[in-house]
């Protein structure tokens, strides 16, 4: 049965079940419980999500805990057209909305802005491990520049932590599971004086080896997460409040599990590798959680954040100041670039980012016919990355003779370390002013207009040193020397126009036209020469129609959005064989439908559905990256990578009391589907991830007053194997792994999460 038929049958079944429940129970029980109200701050005011004319998905902290969502990566399975995945390196995590994403470890901006307590977080990799003790998470699709301090071209991920409370409270959660994992989380909050309250939160998670390395006869790829957050809330006067938050996050890990992608490995590649190194490759199963390769990766990811949020009520207005600082450092040691059972090329890399931002906003009360928000924003970021490539012992002894370069063996072995040293740095200063005005033309019709002026000034440098002549074969196309004083400045005015109409007290429709802007930047890789060192800005125009409804006495919520996003001069990061280059690639159109439904047809039954249809087309991409061994290609009219046509997430939960006790129980099942998609920018047919399904289960028992809870879960219950990223094997041509006749190459696969199970016990003190 085709994946489309599977999807159609699934949606039809859910619709039928929801309808039957609604009809039957509406007749038998007139006291259907209304769904809880979800409050969002998407428009910088606390509002019911059903009253906000924006395509936004929001989940409260309680909802996140109830569904076991403990990371941004796991969140992506529940939000239409939202994707978060990592790659071979932790800092290469990428966040995408409506099929467009960008990595965060080089000199260009992320397409999706990330905000923690309204302060901008510039690198997607720094959001890992940060989801604990949260008030809510909101995903806003489409440009959001007239409401957020930092500009966003595709959308925004807004994470809000829980603030201190004046009522004492505390809780501890203990968890353990397969893959040798455990976690401890908790918080304590309460008054420190009549006007000051505090909150302290912590999270410790550890995952031992989840993959076996048969080459080194050792378990590998463990990870430890540690997080602390302290907050002080001071009600200075009845009109002034200040909240100071300080967080520290640390991740120690041993690299990502990257497998040879079985369908792509040829006998020529395997035989040639054996002839040179005397080692056989293991590529039998890309999802068997076993690798056979050099793996010495070590990494430490540390960050410290400070956020001071001040609100001052001045008559019918509120003046808000958000001052934030974040320092993030990621250090990688002995990362194996080639990931094969031979020590060929290792890499040490230190990446640091420190940024400061200041936002000032003046907001009207929100209760008048004319409401507005005016803002000023300043952002300063310093980004550096220092990389050292080491020539491995097998490179000197085996690879050079195989290439006919035996004369380089002696100098290679004389100084095999520190063969290539790269340094890149960039200073960014950004200025912005924005305004968003809403006028209620009638009690039912509201018009909104917003403008934003942005200016980004970037200055950078790049330097490469080649300390060993034996490195020429792996760096022959790289510039040696310094390139300093590289500058790039972009300035843009963007806008939003929105009309919303209340058809009734429970149904609202809206139409939006908005533009987004992502500034140009500086390439951080040595392959960039001359004009390639910089690239230009990316511009987005978004058209959207939406309908939000709350029906059946609040027991059914149904929201739908139709959109089209045109992206001109989109910035694409392409693989060159040994590194990556960013450039302005052409134009792209992403359009589709997003549907979200929640239903409570019976007081004990909750149903949810999130569905996205995405139509993707390069409207102009004439000089696209070529297939392996081939020239540049024309991809105009083709579908973009990371753009599955269909994605769906469904869930059903039954909750009830245990008779004659003070106990409650629940059981929950989830089904998630993603259709076929390309996972490489050159649209390599070898890098197609077929459609796949994920099934999750969760069940629990708790005291009726929630003083304690015991929950169990099974994720990916069918142990479905799939890739979240597929890319060309580094140096595949050295071993005959690139076939120029049919433009194929050996590929690597970053596997998705395997089946895992566990339990959590939470006690509220």
Q: What is the pLDDT of residue 416?
A: 67
Q: What is the pLDDT of residue 129?
A: 65
Taking alpha carbons only, the member of 482, 611, 625, 517 closest to residue 109 is: 517
287 Cβ neighbours under 8 A, 6+ residues apart = 259, 721, 722, 751, 754
SS3 175: strand
Average pLDDT, the chain: 87
Largest CA distance in the chain: 88
d(CA 84, CA 69): 13
Q: What is the pLDDT of residue 466?
A: 79
d(CA 23, CA 225): 48
SS3 527: coil
Q: What is the pTM of this model?
A: 0.91
- Strand order of the β-sheet with 259-260 is 259-260, 747-751, 723-728
Name the pairing type of β-strands 587-602 and 605-620.
Answer: antiparallel
- Compute, in degrees rounded to 10, the torsion defined by CA atoms 627, 629, 634, 638: -10
When pLDDT is cut at 50, 70 and 90, the band that residue 164 belongs to is: very high
SS3 90: helix
pLDDT digits (tens, 9 = 90+) for 75-129: 888 998 998 877 666 667 788 999 998 765 566 778 888 899 999 988 777 776 6
HEC readout, 415-443: CCCCCEEEEEEEEEEEEEEEEEEEEECCC
Q: Are 250 and 225 in contact (CB under 8 A)?
A: yes
Q: Are 762 and 709 in contact (CB under 8 A)?
A: yes
Q: What is the pLDDT of residue 657?
A: 94
When pLDDT is cut at 50, 70 and 90, the band that residue 28 belongs to is: very low
Q: What is the mean pLDDT of residues 413-419?
A: 76
Q: What is the pLDDT of residue 27?
A: 45
d(CA 666, CA 701): 7
SS3 524: coil
514 Cβ neighbours under 8 A, 6+ residues apart = 142, 143, 450, 494, 495, 496, 497, 498, 541, 542, 544
Residue 149 phi/psi, 5° resolution? -60, -55
When pLDDT is cut at 50, 70 and 90, the band that residue 477 belongs to is: low
Taking alpha carbons only, the member of 668, 550, 697 closest to residue 607 is: 668
Question: Is the model's pLDDT at 6 over the cut of 90?
Answer: no
d(CA 318, CA 372): 11
Count Cβ atoms within 10 A of the Cβ of residue 505 and give its class: 0-12 exposed, 13-18 middle, 19 or more buried. exposed
DSSP letters of 542-584?
A: EEEEEEEEEETTTTEEEEEEEEEEEEES-EEEEE-SSSEEEEE
d(CA 383, CA 109): 12
Q: How many residues does the chain have?
A: 765
Taking alpha carbons only, the member of 756, 738, 755 closest to residue 747 is: 738
pLDDT digits (tens, 9 = 90+) for 225-263: 899 999 999 999 999 999 999 999 998 887 777 899 999
SS3 70: coil
d(CA 705, CA 736): 65
604 Cβ neighbours under 8 A, 6+ residues apart = 654, 655, 656
Q: What is the mean pLDDT of residues 397-408?
A: 91
In the numeric block, the tokens 């310094």 are attached to 482
When pLDDT is cut at 50, 70 and 90, the band that residue 5 belongs to is: very low
Q: What is the pLDDT of residue 138?
A: 92
Question: Is the model's pLDDT at 63 over the cut of 80?
Answer: yes
d(CA 544, CA 557): 20
Q: Which residues pair with 217 in a beta bridge?
A: none
When pLDDT is cut at 50, 70 and 90, the band that residue 24 belongs to is: very low
Kind plus residue range of the DSSP H or E element containing 18: helix 3-28
């Amino acid at each position: 049965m085709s994946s489309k038929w599977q999807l159609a049958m699934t949606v039809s079944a859910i619709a039928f079940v929801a309808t039957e429940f609604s009809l039957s129970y509406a007749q038998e029980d007139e006291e259907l419980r209304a769904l809880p109200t979800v409050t969002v701050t998407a428009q910088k005011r606390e509002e019911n999500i059903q009253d906000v004319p924006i395509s936004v998905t929001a989940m409260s902290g309680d909802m996140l805990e109830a569904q076991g969502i403990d990371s941004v990566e796991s969140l992506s399975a529940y939000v239409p057209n939202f994707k978060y995945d990592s790659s071979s390196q932790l800092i290469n995590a990428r966040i995408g909305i409506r099929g467009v994403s960008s990595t965060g470890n080089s000199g260009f901006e992320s397409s999706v802005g990330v905000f923690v307590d309204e302060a901008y977080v510039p690198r997607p990799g720094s959001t890992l491990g940060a989801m604990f003790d949260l008030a809510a998470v909101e995903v806003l699709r489409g440009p959001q520049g007239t409401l957020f301090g930092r500009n966003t071209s595709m959308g925004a991920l807004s994470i809000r932590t829980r603030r201190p409370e004046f009522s004492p409270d505390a809780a501890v959660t203990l968890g353990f599971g397969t893959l040798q994992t455990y976690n401890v989380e908790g918080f304590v909050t309460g008054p420190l004086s009549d006007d000051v309250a505090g909150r302290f939160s912590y999270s410790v998670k550890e995952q031992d080896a989840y993959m076996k390395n048969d080459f080194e006869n050792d378990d590998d790829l463990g990870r430890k997460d540690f997080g602390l957050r302290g907050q002080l809330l001071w009600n200075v006067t009845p009109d002034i409040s200040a909240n100071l938050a300080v967080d520290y996050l640390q991740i120690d890990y041993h690299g990502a599990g990257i497998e040879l992608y079985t369908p792509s490995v040829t006998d020529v590649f395997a035989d040639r590798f054996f002839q040179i190194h005397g080692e056989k490759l293991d590529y039998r199963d890309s999802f068997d959680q076993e690798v056979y390769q050099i793996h010495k990766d070590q990494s430490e990811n540390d960050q410290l954040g400070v956020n001071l949020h001040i609100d001052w009520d001045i008559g019918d207005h509120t003046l808000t100041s958000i001052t934030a600082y974040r320092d993030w450092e990621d250090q990688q040691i002995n990362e194996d670039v080639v990931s094969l059972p031979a020590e060929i090329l290792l890499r040490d890399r230190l990446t640091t980012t420190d940024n400061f931002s200041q936002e000032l906003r003046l907001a009207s009360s929100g209760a008048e016919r004319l409401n507005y928000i005016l803002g000023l924003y300043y952002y300063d970021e310093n980004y550096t990355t220092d990389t050292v490539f080491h020539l491995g012992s097998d490179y000197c002894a085996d690879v050079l003779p195989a290439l006919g370069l035996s004369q380089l063996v002696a100098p290679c072995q004389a100084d095999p370390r520190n063969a290539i040293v790269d340094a890149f740095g960039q200073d960014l200063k950004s200025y912005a002013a924005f305004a968003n005005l809403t006028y209620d033309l009638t009690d039912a019709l509201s018009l909104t207009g917003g403008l934003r002026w942005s200016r980004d000034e970037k200055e950078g440098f790049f330097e490469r040193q080649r300390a060993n002549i034996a490195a020429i074969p792996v760096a022959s196309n790289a510039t040696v020397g310094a390139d300093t004083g590289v500058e790039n400045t972009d300035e843009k005015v963007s806008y939003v126009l929105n009309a919303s109409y209340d058809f009734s007290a429970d149904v609202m429709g809206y139409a939006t036209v908005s533009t987004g802007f992502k500034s140009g930047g500086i390439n951080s890789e040595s392959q960039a020469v001359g004009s390639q060192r910089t690239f230009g800005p990316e511009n987005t125009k978004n058209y959207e129609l939406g309908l939000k409804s709350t029906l059946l006495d609040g027991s059914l919520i149904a929201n739908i959005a139709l959109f089209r996003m045109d992206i001109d001069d989109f910035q694409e990061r392409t693989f060159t064989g040994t590194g990556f280059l960013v450039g302005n690639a052409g134009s792209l159109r992403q359009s589709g439908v997003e549907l979200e439904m929640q239903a409570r047809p019976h007081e004990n039954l909750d149903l949810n559905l999130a569905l996205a249809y995405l139509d993707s087309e390069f409207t102009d991409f004439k000089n696209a990256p070529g297939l392996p061994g081939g020239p540049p290609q024309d991809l105009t009219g083709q579908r973009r990578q990371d753009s599955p046509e269909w994605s769906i997430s469904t869930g059903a939960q039954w909750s009830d009391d245990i008779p004659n006790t003070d106990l409650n129980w629940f059981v929950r099942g989830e089904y998630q589907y993603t259709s076929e998609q390309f996972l490489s920018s050159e649209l390599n047919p070898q890098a197609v991830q077929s459609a796949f399904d994920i099934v999750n289960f969760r069940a629990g028992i708790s005291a009726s007053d929630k003083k304690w809870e015991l929950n169990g879960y099974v994720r990916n219950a069918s142990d479905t194997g799939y890739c979240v990223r597929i890319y060309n094997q580094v140096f595949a041509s050295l071993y005959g792994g690139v076939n120029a006749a049919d433009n194929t190459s050996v590929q690597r696969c970053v596997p998705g999460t395997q089946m895992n199970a566990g339990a959590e016990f939470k006690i509220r003190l």
